[in-house]
A = this chain, B = another copy of it.
């Protein structure tokens, strides 16, 4: 006997081990944990997963997570619709929001161009971004993708697509991470931060 001869437990373990980073052993541990809990606890978990997947959709405009057709950010009249920050995924929306430095809207691509992973521009929300730029009177697009090979490729692809449209295209500054010792900065970043050096007084205007 390699299992408890319980199809119900086996099924729960099989479903749990489909989650990323959760192997068979962890799945079994989680299932046995749930068996030891009150029924209500396990039911609440099961129901919350089903209800979340059943009712959450993606914002028709920016493709962020939303419980209605437009997400709370797109619906917020205090946000500036002329500045749109382009991010890879919905988690990055949270990350940027946590800085409190962006007061415009978002556009979630759903990934970055990565030929090795079989992700081409048509798999991403790039056409819908161009459509928004044409129709919504967007003045600035902030490219906020990760400074990786794939992120840069995607940045460049979007830049080329938008080049003929009357929109300012900016990207996140690259340079020394605040709080890091100079000695531990990599050469590429340090070199870039010398090339893109800013006037000393500018840092007081932020």
Contact = CB atoms under 8 A, between A and B. Distances in A.
A205 interface: no
- Going nearest first, the 5 A-B pairs with the smallest beta carbon separation are A42-B53, A46-B50, A46-B49, A5-B72, A12-B52
Interface in A154-168: none
A93 B33 CA distance: 16
B35 A42 contact: no
What's the number of copies of this chain in the assembled complex?
Answer: 2
A45 B21 CA distance: 15
A8 to B, nearest CB: 5
Chain A: interface size category: 35 or more
A173 interface: no
A188 interface: no
A149 interface: no
A14 B45 CA distance: 9
23 contacts: A1-B72, A1-B73, A1-B97, A2-B97, A5-B72, A6-B66, A8-B67, A11-B52, A15-B45, A15-B48, A16-B45, A18-B41, A19-B30, A19-B34, A32-B90, A34-B52, A37-B53, A39-B54, A43-B53, A43-B54, A46-B48, A46-B53, A47-B50
Given A20-B29, A35-B65, 15 more contacts: A1-B97, A2-B94, A2-B98, A4-B66, A4-B90, A6-B56, A7-B67, A8-B55, A11-B51, A15-B48, A19-B33, A29-B91, A35-B53, A42-B49, A47-B50
A182 to B, nearest CB: 30
